[in-house]
Chains A and B, each alone.
Chain A
Amino acid sequence: AQSVAQPEDQVNVAEGNPLTVKCTYSVSGNPYLFWYVQYPNRGLQFLLKYITGDNLVKGSYGFEAEFNKSQTSFHLKKPSALVSDSALYFCAVRDLTSGTYKYIFGTGTRLKVLA
């Protein structure tokens, strides 16, 4: 079965420090991986995706993610956190076994950036 795990419910980081939000996956075949962010009272916003190619993927708002096949991980990173990055972050994998290629979402990680 295809799945993703976000092991941390919440991550706290001081403004200006680097941040990491963790995601691990379990798929059969090549993974198609995505990160989304959700601000309060808003829908999900796409940040970045990994399909093939470079293991380091750059996305919106200065975020990047590192694909690690041996560790089956796709951690989201940012070199210097902003208070405005505080939000709910979701990792997702495409379910290639379904005819609709639906997403399977992680449980979400709440990021809190402290001033």
Chain B
Amino acid sequence: SAVISQKPSRDICQRGTSLTIQCQVDSQVTMMFWYRQQPGQSLTLIATANQGSEATYESGFVIDKFPISRPNLTFSTLTVSNMSPEDSSIYLCSVAEGGTGGAKNIQYFGAGTRLSVL
């Protein structure tokens, strides 16, 4: 299974600032996913990041607020821009096993970034 390193593990930020979260995978993968999770609640998909193309955002999420980079097949970043207390959450990246992102593939998750905005 893929090993995913996510940094930072947690941060406390001031309102109006931005934070960039990094996701590094130990193998090449086609699709990476970024999720948001309120503590103890379910996961909400923010966007899907493919290498070499623009990320695909889910309804309610926009590129200006959550810009994503995917420079190669092992790395991605998610930036949370112009933060407000409502952005306080856990942010998780995940990858699909096997590199092709097919329907049968398992998704593996990083440990998450716990963000608090004051």
Contact = CB atoms under 8 A, between A and B. Distances in A.
Interface of A: 32, 34, 36, 41-46, 49, 51, 88, 90, 94, 96, 100-103, 105-108, 110
Nearest to B112: A43
B115 interface: no
Interface string B100-117: 011111111111101000
Contact of A43 (B33, B42, B111): B111
Nearest to A104: B45
Contacts of B105: 101
A106 B37 CA distance: 12
B41 A107 contact: yes
B60 interface: no
B105 to A, nearest CB: 8
Contacts of B104: 32, 49, 51
Contacts of A32: 103-104
Nearest to A94: B103
B40 A110 contact: yes
B111 A108 contact: no
A36 B103 CA distance: 16
Nearest to A32: B103
B31 to A, nearest CB: 6
A45 B3 CA distance: 11
Contacts of A103: 33, 43, 45, 107
B45 to A, nearest CB: 6
A49 B106 contact: yes
6 contacts: A32-B104, A44-B92, A49-B104, A103-B33, A105-B42, A106-B42
Interface in B1-41: 1, 4, 6, 31, 33, 40-41
B73 to A, nearest CB: 16
B56 interface: yes
Given A107-B41, A108-B41, 18 more contacts: A32-B103, A34-B107, A41-B114, A43-B92, A44-B109, A46-B1, A49-B104, A100-B31, A100-B33, A100-B56, A102-B33, A102-B45, A103-B43, A105-B42, A106-B42, A108-B40, A108-B42, A110-B40
